[in-house]
Amino acid sequence: MQSGHITQQSIFLKDAPPMMRNTFLTRRALVISALFLPLAKTQAANTPSLVEVWKTSSCGCCHNWVAHLNANGFEVKTNDISESAKAAKRLGLGMPLKFASCHTAVIQGYVLEGHVPASEIRRLLSERPLALGLAVPGMPIGSPGMDGPAYGGRKDAYAVLLVQREGTSTVFQDHRR
């Protein structure tokens, strides 16, 4: 057998030249990794994520939004604070006042302002855009937390905005009913 060549008699990998053994092992590792990647991504997507929320204790729609997140598999920690402390928290996190709503939250480094649906939070975490976070300015009726029986099934059009760190935004998801 010549050095560097595999003959018909050398069936075992140990008989292959070192360069070919390394290539084979690298390819094997790559194939095995590729097979397990979807499993790892699915596991990460199914892992509950902690959402930390700052709200006032008297806000019913904030309580309903937290219930919406819990019902959709998120773990939620709430902090009941005053209006002025909430405004200071929002400002400290970098969320501009023009996007303000009744509660502010953080998940995996992203800021959430207002009644952001769980589906959009999941999409944000899946896509991981370079951004400050998401906002639903104001308190649109029909958004999660603002969709209870007291509203009689009314659903106002609203947009979930992707907010950039410099304060600009684009529509992340349009909810026109």
Write the single-letter amino acid at 36: F
Which class does domain 48-175 fall in? alpha beta
Residues 81-109 pLDDT 10s: 999 999 999 999 999 999 999 999 999 99
Residue 134 has pLDDT above 80, yes or no: yes
- pLDDT value of residue 166: 97
Tell me the DSSP string of 25-75. HHHHHHHHHHHHHHHHHHHHHHS--EEEEEE-TT-HHHHHHHHHHHHTT-E
Stated pTM of the model:
0.74
- pLDDT value of residue 79: 97
What are the domain boundaries of the chain? 13-45, 48-175
